[in-house]
């Protein structure tokens, strides 16, 4: 099973934001993505943007059975319930659900921050790279 960890970060609310995606394919291969998102409204929006990007990347790599990990309880609950109250996040959730429905098997699990260090470091790197331009 493919393991995908993702994280979003924002420098302030609103502020420069980035996403980090760390993928382990179960065969010893790893992929790392530091994605610049520009200015977003909040860390929560960055988390949703990172989730959608991670789903898209997994599908682009033809992964059909995936286990996602996030330290965002908001994103995890939204995916579980297939619902989010805040209209700002609704478009992200709609995109995420569209992608999720294309997998043969999809899981998402909430993990503590300390277990999501790889994705977190990539999200922070994406912010740093944008601020240096």
What are the chain's domains? Answer: 2-128 (3.30.420.10)
Distance separating alpha carbons of residues 24 and 27, to the nearest angstrom: 8
Beta bridge partners of 3: 24, 67
Q: Which residues of the chain have pLDDT under 50?
A: none
Task: Tell me what pLDDT residue 130 has.
Answer: 95
User: What pLDDT is recorded for position 26?
Assistant: 84
pLDDT of residue 72: 98
- Smallest CA-to-CA distance from 133 within 54, 36, 33 is with 36
């Amino acid at each position: 099973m493919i393991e995908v960890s993702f994280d979003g970060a924002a420098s302030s609310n609103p502020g420069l934001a980035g996403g980090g995606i760390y993928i382990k394919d179960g065969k010893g291969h790893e992929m790392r993505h530091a994605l610049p998102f520009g200015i977003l409204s909040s860390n929560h929006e960055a988390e949703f943007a990172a989730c959608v990007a991670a789903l898209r990347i997994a599908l682009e790599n033809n992964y059909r059975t995936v286990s996602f990990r996030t330290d965002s309880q908001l994103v995890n609950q939204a995916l579980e319930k297939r619902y989010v109250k805040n209209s700002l996040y609704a478009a992200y959730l709609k995109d995420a659900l569209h992608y999720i429905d294309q997998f043969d098997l999809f899981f998402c699990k909430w993990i503590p921050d300390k277990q999501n260090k790889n994705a977190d470091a990539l999200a922070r790197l994406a912010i740093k790279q944008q601020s240096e331009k």
